[in-house]
């Protein structure tokens, strides 16, 4: 997988996370606790966040992603 495609996938995940966070805020303001759309949106955000963390960890473990921290 090319470096630019990897970055696009990670950015896409981050956009989806921010979208769900914004949707949760919108539902919280509009519904005023009458529905469970806020909880569903936040649940999706958590699921996508965990998926992104696992995907990055898998990429680092398999060598597809290269770290560039102080230990390299």
Q: pLDDT digits over 26-58, tens only?
A: 999 999 878 899 999 999 999 999 999 999 999
In a domain, residue 28? The reply is yes
46 and 16 Cβ atoms separated by less than 8 Å: no
Instruction: Examine residue 67 and state whether it is found in any structural domain, yes or no.
Output: no
Does a structural domain hold residue 68?
no
Domain containing 49 equals 3-62
Residue 69 lies in a domain: no
pTM for the full model? 0.83
The CA–CA distances, whole Å, from 28 to 10, 44, 48, 59 equal: 27, 15, 20, 35
Residue 72 lies in a domain: no
Query: Greatest CA span in the chain, whole angstroms?
Result: 51
Question: Domains in the chain: how many in total?
Answer: 1
In a domain, 71, yes or no: no
Q: What are phi and psi of 13, to 5 degrees?
A: -60, -45
């Amino acid at each position: 997988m090319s470096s630019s495609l990897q970055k696009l996938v990670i950015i896409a995940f981050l956009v989806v996370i921010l979208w769900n966070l914004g949707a949760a805020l919108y539902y919280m303001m509009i519904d005023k606790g009458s529905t469970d759309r806020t909880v569903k949106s936040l649940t999706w955000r958590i699921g996508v966040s965990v998926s992104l963390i696992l995907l990055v960890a898998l990429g680092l473990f398999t060598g597809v992603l290269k770290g560039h921290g102080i230990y390299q």
